[in-house]
Chains A and B, each alone.
Chain A
Amino acid sequence: MSDLTVVGKRVERVDVRAKVTGGAVYAADVQMAGMLYGKIVRCYDYAHARVTELDLSKAAKCKGVIKVLGPKDVTQKEYNGSVLDMMVSSDMRGILGDIDDQSIFTTHVKHYGDAIAAVIATSEEAAERAAEKIIVTYEELPVYLTAEAARQSDARQFRPEKPGNLAFQLPEMAFPDNAYAWGEVDKSFEEADIIVEDTFYVPKQKQCQMEPGAYIALYDDQERLNCWTSTQMPKLVQKKLANLFELPMTRVRINATVIGGGFGARLGMVLEPETCALAMAVPGRPVKVLSTREEDWVTSPSRHPGKYWMKMGFKKDGTPVACDAKFENYKGAYYMDASGTAFTTGAWLGGMYKFDSLRYRGESYYTNQSVCGAFRGYGNPQTNFVMEQMVDRGCAALGVDPIEWRKKWHKTIGDDGWCIGVPYNSCALDECLDRAAKAIGWTEKRAKYKNQTGTIRRGIGVSVMNHTSGAMPMLLEHTVCDALLHQDATVTLNLACSDMGQGSHTTLRQVAAETLGFPYADVHIAAGDTDAAGFDIGAHASRTLYVGGGAVKQACEDVRKQIFDRAALELGEAVGNLYMEDKVIHVKGASNKSISVQTIADQGVNNFMNPENGELIGQPGQIQGYASFFPPHNAPPFGASIAEVEVDMETGEVKVIELVNAHDVGRAIHPGIVEGQLDGGAQQGLGMALTEETYYDEKGICLNNSFTDYKMLGPSDMPKITNILVENPDPTGPFGAKGVGEAGIVPPVGATANAIFNAIGIQILEAPITPEKILEALAEKD
């Protein structure tokens, strides 16, 4: 494929000029005539309480207030902010047991920041002032912050349909013994010479997308509900809102604004239901709802935290015989993605190594924490923290090199992937490991860092991962794309795929231009208006380029085919005899016979009859390509990271000094964008390993829902990063591409933990690995 002209090039991002000049319009920047402002009143006194009295009257009398709404003033329908229920068949939905358990405003507070009521006013300040006048009386209820607490027999039940507050466990019907499993685990352990086992904790990491939630809704004079939002999933949110407000889809329109980062926080609905409910109360007036950072923190989903137990058995020769694991996550107050993450966390585990047998159980427990949902990696960073430390512990016991062991025992082409029964069709992990090891000097450093003394100790650690490009076959994967050939032979693609900053509109445009054989400049991606675009699942599961790109490619092939068919007719030649160069179609071997795409496109639109003979000049009809694309596979990306750290033995502080990421990306449609995904993923993965956790006090009050107290890494905290892109084209991806949106966050997590293990000889079982935990562990060891 060396003759690619657009794919593989570092073209300018479609959105970057607007972004560097401040011209990009994010939801909070949208101003409209007659705009009203909504302020949601939330419970910040309790994490679990019943509202016994709600007095809205004082607020209603405040200056500038248009309306005040309580729980009874909005639809009584419940909803599920997540979208998983829309990605599976109705049969599967029944088996999984996904439920709707969220209300727009509640009388039963289940987490710090739950919504009680709202004010609509003529200014933000007036709305805020009035909101303070709403008087709520609560009856405090017992608080359950962990799975252990929530499943106590005398604990209050969050939902009658979910006894024991067990929101989800792998259902017996699809997973016998409630486990994702193969082989006979108990028997396999009997064959093991070495067994390692421990219980870990993985943190409630927050996406911290830099743009806090902002929403505008308008119930317009055609009785249509319009919502401006930076959701990752315009089409599913359109359908979710249609369901919630019982409107046909033709009366719900999502205008996707520029997304200031997603990472899962905008997967599904966040404050769209509240904002739309407010707008429907004041028809004809747009209502804007801005989340403060603190509010965004506790209303949008986080990563699933919880206890993660794992046991691995190996034979003396290193053979991995058995793996047993259980992830009990602290789901938060509402169901959301209870099923999805509980499953995938194990799927990534199952997809990694050739254990003779494996058993994974995943359980989601309701708790009085804020909700959990999707976050880049979707269970994979959690598994990486635990699995990779267990493997390194095994390697230490076996006395083998962690890279050599991984190379020998990771799954590869032909082995079952993360979904049992769907084998891997490509894998370049060995090359990733080799190149990463060489780049960082693995062998020398591993040897050098044995037996250190002194204040500052160094360590180096490795981690590998498998992921996915789209969630097929577990979830629906489908994108519709229209490609319209204008009369000047340029093409506009219409589709609903969103660009959260990951660069998808740029790479999709590259795929389109390459497929059409047109210059990059001749293609435009129109996206973001659900009135115009066909179905698309939305941006999740590293799927936009893989699935969206598949749709774009197919729609553009359709355009190309129609162009060639018409050229064949005009030139009187078989399609097989034609080729295109610089948008002119030539006949092979006949340099004088040609027709330009421009002529075909123009004649398709401006079609006239020849007055002399009554015949049409050229072929009539504007050419439009179309694809309703379902991907054939999930093109598994693999990756490895090697991290080198320094640990201060006196303060416990850790600094990652170098990180090498080598990823099997299939093909880098835009290498700069791929590297950007890995760089950004690394910032999040290192943060999860070292600093990021949401803290609650015993009453369930969140202690650090702000950047003051929740520390993600800044510029000076980052290591030197080298990214190695291993391009081994996937047979099913557009031009061989695999999804890379999530891969980057995963292996830095385990690599950092293992590097610390290498430096101090102790494994820290709870993420984030704070200085405090290190000093504690060192003291225990002494």
Chain B
Amino acid sequence: MAQKNITLLLGGQPHEVINFDPTRTLLDYLRYDSARTGTKEGCGEGDCGACTVVIGTLKDGKLRFEAVNSCIIFLPTLDGKLLLTVEDLVHPDGSLHVIQRVIADLQGSQCGFCTPGFVMAIFAHIRSGGGAGLASINDALVGNLCRCTGYGPIIEAVRRAISEQVDDHLTALEETWIKQLAAMSSPDTLSLSWICPDTGKERHYSAPKTTAALTALYAAYPEATLLAGGTDVGLWVTKQLQSLNRLIYLGHITELSQITQSKTHIEIGAGVTFADAQPILSAHFPDLGEVIRRLGSSQIRNRATIGGNIANGSPIGDSMPVLIALNTELALQSVKGLRRIPLEDYFISYGRQDRIAGEFVAAIRIPLPKPDQYFRAYKISKRFDQDISAVCGAISVTLDDGLISSARVAYGGVAATPIRALNTENTLIGAKWNERTIQSAMSALKNDLSPISDMRASADYRLKVARNILFKAYIEYDTPLSQTRLIGDGAAE
């Protein structure tokens, strides 16, 4: 029989939540069911950060704190987790937490509506060992919008809080939390079901803990919605008001969250979040790291998975063009077994992917960089982070004594799917790596791309910038010391 409850740690106490809609958002649970109205709703779609809370997860016997957008998180995914909201930070005697105090002291709050979200984002940043450098603080805060303060005072407050290094009353509780969380964990698949009192319809939620269990479950219910980070799926409920009546959550499957490195490649499980994938990918492919760094915000990257980005198949997803340029292979799993295909083959047409019923994305495999490989990637968007790209493009060439022996060029945002620019690659392969070759590659590009005009950018701009990216990649090789990228967040230091 399906369970009707989950358990989470809230306010330091295990809380059982009974008989609830599995698509109820964490934000609604806090504001309406727990009377914790300190957490705010500014957008309901992960863009403003007003709803930021911190989730604590037990990992390898340690607590790991992550800021997340409670507005797009479904409540049952909190099973077995610690939840901290702005109310928890105030000391029991009523005095302010150091983060709250520095924000107050340094004019980091005006209308205050964004403040609880910032407080929690900062808490997560500091608790996960985040630095006091501007880039590091920005990375932690870009998921939070503020319309009053211009952010400067808040950034200053983070620096001050880090430098004061005050232990708060929560630090002492961590040992207890770890014990409580350990006691709450269970090896079994969590299954919930709920009947909507107004419509009489039943809604199911399962969270298997192994790939085998997932494979079987998905084979039995191929119509189910797979839920990974929920940064796409959450919005289907909060914005498109869809009724998702059968959810399978992947977040508890350890096998899907593995990162391994062999002599030839890096393998990343579909359930690995961008936050977790970033360090290793940055180390091998700095530009891929940079694209990931600008993908969404830290709250989004803490949840969003690579598998979800790929499976969703959006033409404007950021990881795909870059991964395609890097010759990434996709592993798909179903009861029929595991198959591997080149990533670009997965995207058939807009909204259609090469995935059979009951099959899920298991992992990706990226060949390790070679010494003669030159790789660049660019994300073009209005805002530096937390913005959908107008164009995302990547180029990878192998250079053999000044000749291009192989080339892979891929783009997002310029066609109905993420695509490889084959004509362009052909002009490159075998040619000399010089400006003339790049110019002819740039002209060839129009035969590869079919961009559209929308509110984000015109087709013309997309084509132009897709071309210019190639030029930029060349310049960066040719004159490595010239400045080719905007100063970015170095500016304010």
Contacts and interface: CB of A to CB of B under 8 A. Distances in A.
A74 interface: no
Nearest to A718: B151
Interface stretch (A14-22, A181-189, A336-344, A425-433): A14-22
A658 B491 contact: yes
A606 interface: no
A706 B45 contact: yes
Contacts of B179: none
A711 B486 contact: no
A156 interface: no
B352 interface: no
Contacts of A706: 43, 45, 47
A704 B138 CA distance: 25
A171 interface: no
Contact of A650 (B101, B112, B137, B468): B468
A24 B112 contact: yes
Nearest to A675: B107
B491 A679 contact: no
Contact of B456 (A26, A678, A682, A709): A709
B79 interface: no
Nearest to A656: B491
Nearest to B103: A20
Interface stretch (A206-214, A366-374, A519-527, A587-595): A206-214
Interface string A436-470: 00000000000000000011100000000000000
Contact of B382 (A125, A646, A770): A770
Interface string A92-106: 000000000000000
B150 A683 contact: yes
Interface in B96-126: 96, 100-101, 103-107, 109-116, 119
Contacts of B87: 21-22
A18 to B, nearest CB: 7
B42 A293 contact: yes
Interface in A745-782: 770-772, 775-776, 779
Contact of A655 (B137, B241, B488): B488
Contact of B109 (A20, A29, A651, A776): A20
Contact of B198 (A24, A64, A652): A64
A676 B153 contact: yes
B176 interface: no
Given A21-B86, A22-B38, A703 B383 contact: no
A673 B107 contact: yes
A13 interface: yes
Contacts of B48: 210, 293, 707
A12 interface: yes
Contacts of B43: 293, 706-708
Contacts of A64: 198
Contacts of B40: 26, 28, 210-211, 260
A771 B50 contact: no
A126 B196 CA distance: 11
Contacts of A408: none
Contacts of A13: 104, 107, 109
Nearest to A20: B100
A684 B147 contact: yes
Given A18-B112, A652-B465, A707-B48, A718 B492 contact: yes
Interface string A456-490: 10000000000000000000000000000000000
B41 to A, nearest CB: 7
B484 A456 contact: yes
Interface stretch (A312-320, A498-506, A552-560, A608-616): A498-506
A421 interface: no
Interface string B77-98: 0000000011101100000100
A248 B456 CA distance: 50
Interface in A218-238: none
A210 B149 CA distance: 12
Interface string B477-493: 00000111111110111
A716 B483 contact: no
A355 interface: no
B45 A210 contact: no
Contact of B384 (A207, A714, A720): A714
B486 A646 contact: yes
Give the size range of B's interface with the partner. Answer: 35 or more
Main secondary structure of the interface of B (DSSP, over half): loop
Contacts of A502: 110
Contacts of A652: 461, 465
A627 to B, nearest CB: 27
Given A20-B96, A29-B37, A715-B142, A261 B111 contact: yes
A293 B44 contact: yes
Contacts of B151: 679, 683, 714-715, 718
A772 B457 contact: yes
B461 A676 contact: no
A455 B484 contact: yes
Contacts of A719: 491-492
B469 interface: yes
A23 interface: yes
B382 A691 contact: yes
A653 B148 contact: no
Interface stretch (B249-257, B278-286, B385-393, B424-432): B385-393
Given A22-B87, A455-B475, A650-B469, A714 B386 contact: yes
B146 A210 contact: yes
Interface in A169-209: 207-209
Given A679-B149, A718-B152, A771-B380, A260 B486 contact: no
Contact of B152 (A208, A704, A721, A775): A721
Contact of A708 (B85, B113, B388): B388
A721 B380 contact: no
A208 B486 CA distance: 27
A716 B465 contact: no
Interface in A714-750: 714-721
Contact of A210 (B145, B155, B475): B145
A163 interface: no
A322 interface: no
Nearest to B387: A711
A716 B385 contact: yes
A681 B110 CA distance: 12
A715 B155 contact: yes
A22 B39 contact: yes
A399 interface: no
B383 A691 contact: yes
B119 A679 contact: no
B138 to A, nearest CB: 4
A672 B107 contact: yes
B148 A716 contact: no
Nearest to B483: A456
B127 interface: no
B349 interface: no
B472 interface: yes
Interface string A379-417: 000000000000000000000000000000000000000
Nearest to A686: B150
B456 A126 contact: no
A16 B145 contact: no
A751 to B, nearest CB: 15
Contact of A211 (B42, B105, B155, B475): B42
9 contacts: A19-B109, A22-B115, A209-B147, A680-B149, A706-B45, A707-B48, A709-B456, A711-B383, A720-B493
Can you list the 6 inter-chain pairs with the closest CB atoms, starting with the nearest?
Answer: A22-B38, A501-B111, A19-B112, A679-B150, A260-B113, A707-B47
Interface of B: 31, 35-45, 47-48, 50, 85-87, 89-90, 96, 100-101, 103-107, 109-116, 119, 135, 137-139, 141-142, 144-155, 198-199, 241, 378, 380, 382-388, 390, 454-458, 460-461, 464-465, 468-469, 471-472, 475, 482-489, 491-493
Given A16-B109, A210-B145, A655-B384, 10 more contacts: A12-B104, A20-B115, A24-B112, A64-B198, A210-B148, A211-B113, A683-B150, A709-B455, A715-B154, A715-B155
